[in-house]
Amino acid sequence: MPVSQNSTSAAQTADPISQNIDAVVAMHALAEQQVDPHQRGVESLTSWLGRPQFFYGILVGVSVWMIFNTFAFRLGLRERDEPPFFWLQGIVGLCALLMTTVVLITQNRQGKLAERREQLDLQMSLLTEQRTAKIIDLLEELRRDMPTVHNRVDLEAQALIKTVDPQEVLAALEIKLEETMETTAAAQIVTDEIDEAAIETEQRVIQAKQEKGE
């Protein structure tokens, strides 16, 4: 029996995997549409520079340059760049500067995209936490309303019903990190003091041995 187009479309719409894939594709498509031609050209150049063929081309070009300028006098030609190849060093330095700039331009946009993804993940995590807390609250309410279920106090469920405040979590994390850093600094101070005491003891032992030898 053939499946109608409406039922197929409804099945695709109800599929959460397809919806998630479409959402990700739409996000990437929107990000690509916002790229200006200059940025797109720089990123295309970065992609070309990252290919193995470019690496092999550099090796061949540098080798040909060095061999030609080393043995040019044997062919009766005037040397263009004598060893240690100052012209080659200048060209390589300029190319390295340009390639570094191109890579940094590409990484800046990729960093912005990564930051957007992190913000999206954070929003989805907070939303998931809120939904989970709401589901637990509804289940607890349903359990209390059902006469056939024995009513009891679930402290863990009551704790999970409360949604987590991101500001409180961040503040607690910062306090914990500060305490850890202070503990590490104190331990380092104690270690330094022990090392200094050991060095002083060793120097005293050496000095005592020298005095006995005299």
Q: Radius of gyration of the chain from Cα atoms?
A: 34
pLDDT tens digits for 84-127? Answer: 888 999 999 999 999 999 999 989 888 888 888 887 787 788 78
What residue segments make up the domains of the chain, in order of their start?
165-214
Please provide the DSSP assignment of the chain as one string. Answer: -PPPHHHHHHHHHH-HHHHHHHHHHHHHHHHHHT--HHHHHHHHHHHHHTSHHHHHHHHHHHHHHHHHHHHTGGGTPPPSS-TTTHHHHHHHHHHHHHHHHHHHHHHHHHHHHHHHHHHHHHHHHHHHHHHHHHHHHHHHHHHHH-TTSPP---HHHHHHHSPPPHHHHHHHHHHHHHHHHHHHHHHHHHHHHHHHHHHHHHHHHHHHHHHHH-
- Of the candidates 131, 124, 127, which has an alpha carbon nearest to the alpha carbon of residue 160? 131
Section 71-78 average pLDDT:
73
**What is the pLDDT of the chain when averaged over all its residues?**
79
Amino acid making up residue 176:
K
Residue length of the chain: 214
Joined tokens for residue 88: 């080659």
pLDDT score of 3 more than 50: no
Joined tokens for residue 132: 């989970």
Q: Is 153 left (phi over 0), alpha (psi -120 to 50) or beta?
A: beta
Q: What is the pLDDT of residue 91?
A: 93
- 168 vs 39, which has greater pLDDT? 39
Q: What is the pLDDT of residue 1?
A: 44
Cα–Cα distance, 120 to 13 (Å, whole number): 22
pLDDT score of 183 more than 90: no
Amino acid making up residue 111:
G
pLDDT tens digits for 141-177? Answer: 887 777 776 766 677 777 777 776 777 767 777 888 8
Query: Rounded to an integer, what is the distance from CA 182 to the centroid of its chain?
Result: 27
